[in-house]
Amino acid sequence: MPRSFLYEVPPTAGLPPRFGDLLPSATPTLSARAAQFLGVDEVQVECSGTAALVVALTALKRQSHRTSVIVPAYTCPLVAIAVAHCGLKLRLCDLVPDGIDMDDLQLDALCDEDTLAIVPTHLAGRVADVDAAITCARRVDACVIEDAAQALGARFADGSAVGTRGDIGFFSLAVGKGLTTFEGGLLVARDAALRRELRRVSEEIIPRSFAWELKRSVQLLGYHALYNPFGLKFVHGDPRRRALRNGDLIGAVGDDFSLAIPLHTLGTWRQSIGAHAFARLGEFQHECFRRAQSRIAQLLVKNRAKSDVLLDHFGHGTWPFLLVLMPSEAARDAALARLWSTNLGVSRLFIHALPDYAYLADIVPQADVPNARDFAARMLTISNSPWLDDAGFERICRVLENTTA
């Protein structure tokens, strides 16, 4: 439990690794396991969610003269970096108030004959409104790429997996995303001809790299050794506290991405580790769901801070963490002043709306996106890791209750 200063709760509920995952054995491939889990015919494995998006955008770009990609104004900076990498134009759509979805009216207004793709995003494990994006996309003959990087295992109300309703979908297997190969990505597409094209593009633009595979394999071994409440203090908690002491919020959450995207294949050993882990994912996510439901109830019952927890309107998401919206930026900052540097797994998702990252200024257009900025300003996250025990969660609830700013 997180009373000891030698204990760290991770900010997201990663699937705890097992030594047996590292051993070679005759198991279905990662691609086959993922296809079975998602209920689709085929899954393409890439070295990251970003690489999967690069492959998808490259394939679409080759079939069209269109150049614009519409994304939510609050999303992972890597999405903007992937769009720029492909030589495409980013167009930002504001969010609905207090939610992860793109504003319907603005999305409709942004869509035109230059729109190559719309990227509805299942942020924080929540299920996004993909149908609204599909309606806009069909009007202008654009494609829908579901960004399910943070939502492997989430389902629409009809039971189908998120990522499988748009033309293309992708998932991340990066550290912190549940099942991980340290870095990794999965790519799916509804149409068989498009799937063939995605494979062709991948074979053409994604090289093998022994150096990258070696580096990632060592990192994955380190992850297996240290992804536990004791190891995490040294590799995650202490560096985060150091960044916070230095006022480096972007560094504290790891939003400081390189503009150069590593593109290489994902080696067979790391794939077999991911394939082993898939066998435990469903049960683990079920436990996460039950814990999240009971903790949301606990948080909202005592809700003197008038905070809101993001819930699902379009299906059943996954619960790597609870995303909490506080009544004001001042209230959020007051709560974080007491919680962020503790070992309780309280943090923030992306620090800014996309136009507000100085280091992205050359690739992200300025845009009036008040709801995305408000979302970034009022949100905090509470880990749903099994290592956050009831006493730790109760402590967090008390701080939120007593935050009156």
Ligand X SMILES: Cc1ncc(COP(=O)(O)O)c(C=O)c1O
Write out the two tokens for 114.
Answer: 């230059």
Element spanning 160, H or E: none
End-to-end CA distance of the chain: 29
Which of 352/395 has CB closer to ligand X? 352
Q: How far is the CB of 197 from ligand X (least distance, A)?
A: 21
Q: At what angle do helices 268-301 and 30-38 cross, to 10 degrees?
A: 30
Which of 257/289 has CB closer to ligand X? 257
Q: How far is the CB of 35 from ligand X (least distance, A)?
A: 19
Q: How far is the CB of 165 from ligand X (least distance, A)?
A: 17
Tell me if 152 sits within 8 A of 181, measured CB to CB. Answer: no
Q: How far is the CB of 269 from ligand X (least distance, A)?
A: 19
- Binding residues for ligand X, per CB under 6 A? 48-50, 75-76, 78-79, 121, 123, 147, 149-150, 172, 174, 185
Write out the two tokens for 31.
Answer: 């691609």
Give the residue nearest to ligand X (CB). Answer: 49
Q: How far is the CB of 174 from ligand X (least distance, A)?
A: 4
Distances (CA, A) of 379 to 204, 268, 375: 41, 39, 6
Of 317, 39, 381, which is closest to residue 152 (Cα–Cα)?
A: 317
Which of 47/346 has CB closer to ligand X? 47
Q: How far is the CB of 357 from ligand X (least distance, A)?
A: 14
Which of 137/151 has CB closer to ligand X? 151
Q: How far is the CB of 238 from ligand X (least distance, A)?
A: 22
Q: How many residues does the chain have?
A: 405
Which of 9/79 has CB closer to ligand X? 79
Q: How far is the CB of 100 from ligand X (least distance, A)?
A: 10
- Which residues face 78 on adjacent strands? none
Question: How many Å apart are CA 353 and CA 72, to the nearest integer?
Answer: 9
Q: How many CB atoms lie within 10 A of CB 245?
A: 10
Tell me if 76 sits within 8 A of 192, measured CB to CB. Answer: no
Question: How many Å apart are CA 169 and CA 189, to the nearest integer?
Answer: 6
Tell me if 44 sits within 8 A of 186, measured CB to CB. Answer: yes
Which of 150/343 has CB closer to ligand X? 150
Which of 48/385 has CB closer to ligand X? 48
Which of 174/296 has CB closer to ligand X? 174
DSSP designation for 126 = P
